[in-house]
Every structure is written in structure tokens, then in C-alpha cells.
Amino acid sequence: MPESSPSKIYFPDEVAVALCVYGSDLDPIEVTKLLGVDPTHAHRRGERKTLRSPPWDKGAWIRELRCFEPIDPDGMFEELLLDVSSEPAVWRSLASRFQLRVDFAVHTDVGCTFVLSPNTVQRIAALGAEFQIYIQAYGDNDA
């Protein structure tokens, strides 16, 4: 019987991780003060992306980090939270008033492997945040 060769592991081409805070009465300046860092993007409910776009239906405060190969999802999450408040009272307050979510967007042209350590999963849960993974496959799986 021939020896089997190890499976080839594919990693995503690009990953974006974002810490997101959403709410109808969200004030981005207040969230920035509480978390101690600036967002990548923020808006209030009713503001518009452009003059022709519809108004946002809720406010948002988003801090995003993008990375291309090689990708370390745990390292990206650590970097995303670098300098962000770690005070449990801050996170409890935010979670009681707003929707908190951690987004991972995975962009790949082939099937890929994406693993988070138990420590990262526990940290996301400790924030009181939802966890969302968005996968964008943009090619054939012929590799």
C-alpha cells in the first residue's frame, strides 16, 4: 500500500478583522473616549456616506485591521485590541447599550484553513461581542 502524502493546507489570501460597535444613539466620540483609540470608520445614525447615499439607519464605530499572506488570525486580533481599553466595566457598559461584534472577513480563491486559538475565542466572549465570519471565495478551487 503506498504511503499517503500529507494534505496541502491553504491559507487565506487576505483577512480583515474588525471590532464593531453599533447602535441607534451611538456617539462615535463617546465610544472613542471609552475605548481609548480612534476608529478606522465611524458615523452617527442619519449621516450619509455620500450626498446621494441613503442615511445610515444606526451609528457605528469600527476599528479594522487588514493583513495579507502570511496571516496569523490570533496575532491580528491581538494587534486590533492593542491600546483598546481592557476595563471590564467599559465593556459591560458598551454591551448593555450597543451591539458589539468582532468580524473576520476571509478572502480566498481556494478552500482555506482558518483557526483561532481558545485564548482568542475566550477574549472575544469576554468582550460580550458577537462573532461573525464572512468568507469571500472569488475563484475556482482548481489548485
Reading the block at residue 80, the C-alpha cell is 486590533
pLDDT 10s digits, 2-21 = 554 444 455 667 889 999 99
CA distance 122 to 139: 33
Helices within 15-117 (DSSP H only): 28-35, 73-81, 88-97
pLDDT 10s digits, 75-130 = 999 999 999 999 999 999 999 999 999 999 888 777 777 788 999 999 999 999 99
Note the pTM of the prediction, 2 decimals: 0.82
79 three-state secondary structure: helix
**Identity of the highest mean pLDDT range in 19-33, 68-82, 127-141:** 19-33
All structural domains of the chain with their residue ranges: 17-47+56-137
Res. 141 pLDDT band, cuts 50 70 90: low
Reading the block at residue 120, the C-alpha cell is 482568542
